[in-house]
Amino acid sequence: MLSQSSTLRFSVIIPALNEAARIGGSVAAVRALDPAVEIIVVDGGSSDQTAERAAAAGALVVNAPRGRGPQCNAGAAVASGDVLLFLHADTALPDCAFPLLRAILADPTVEIAKFRLRFDTRDWLLDLAARMMWFDSLLTSYGDQGIVIRRTLFAEVGGFPDWPLFEDVRLFELARALTEVYVVPAEVTTAARRFLEHGVLNQLVHDLWLWLQYLLGVSPYDLARGYEQGGAALRGVAL
């Protein structure tokens, strides 16, 4: 008889915006790990060929208002899996991802998990920042690490807030109030492109400042405007 974990169905949900250059490869990489998983790309109004290339790679493409929160919720609404895996377009799963997740989820008390993090560029400061996110806390759990959550818990917490920023932090907060966040002992690899563009230290300080404002109760909508404007400002900053 098949175990419950071996029959779990996974839906991988990838929110994307103007990711035509990489989305086909992202979909193909997930498909290569497990041909049985459902892959849903949620396009937030791209001006390039993100949607077309995702569909060509074999993903189900859904359109949604721009913003990771609304996009992820739209993907979850059409997903058929028992387990939802929210994955950024520039984040790659480890080769062992699905066998490892099936083994972990054989324990019915594990309802939400995230992977450890590494960046695709070797830099001592980035390596240190990634290592700090190898455990779960309000400051160290983000969507970059992949969010694995049972559909039942996702429904119980009401999904992601329809926020343009920190929607991942809030989902972890809501889930953490009900259960423990399991840290998968394997690393996802995420692109360091923002850090390379703006400078590693500058970007880390900028992100920390946004997080502190969130903690103090600043609206995620205001923070999102600062996040977008900060990218341009950081180009001229040297700490």
At residue 139, the pLDDT reads: 87
Check whether 160 has a pLDDT greater than 50.
yes
Residue by residue, what is the 3-state secondary structure of the chain?
Answer: CCCCHHHCCEEEEEEECCCCCCHHHHHHHHHHHCCCCEEEEEECCCCCCHHHHHHHCCCEEEECCCCHHHHHHHHHHHCCCCEEEECCCCEECCCCHHHHHHHHCCCCCCCEEEEEEEECCCCHHHHHHHHHCCCCCCCCCCHHHCEEEEHHHHHHHCCCCCCCCCHHHHHHHHHHCCCCEEEEEEEEEECCHHHHHHCHHHHHHHHHHHHHHHHCCCCHHHHHHHHHHHHHHHCCCCC
At residue 232, the pLDDT reads: 41
Least confident among 58-72, 76-90, 104-118, 221-235? 221-235
Check whether 236 has a pLDDT greater than 50.
no
Mean pLDDT of the chain: 91
pTM of the complete model: 0.90
Check whether 239 has a pLDDT greater than 50.
no
169-214 tens-digit pLDDT: 999 999 999 999 999 999 999 999 889 888 999 999 988 999 899 9
Span 121-135, average pLDDT: 92
29-78 tens-digit pLDDT: 999 999 999 999 999 999 999 999 999 999 999 999 998 999 999 999 99
% of the chain with per-residue pLDDT over 70: 92
Check whether 2 has a pLDDT greater than 50.
no
At residue 194, the pLDDT reads: 87
Where on the phi/psi map is residue 217: left (φ > 0), alpha (ψ -120 to 50), or beta?
Answer: left
At residue 188, the pLDDT reads: 98
Number of residues that make up the chain: 239
Span 162-166, average pLDDT: 88
Span 100-108, average pLDDT: 97
At residue 223, the pLDDT reads: 87
Check whether 151 has a pLDDT greater than 60.
yes
At residue 7, the pLDDT reads: 84
Least confident among 117-126, 192-201, 220-229? 220-229
Least confident among 12-21, 96-105, 121-130, 219-228? 219-228
Check whether 168 has a pLDDT greater than 80.
yes
Check whether 1 has a pLDDT greater than 60.
no
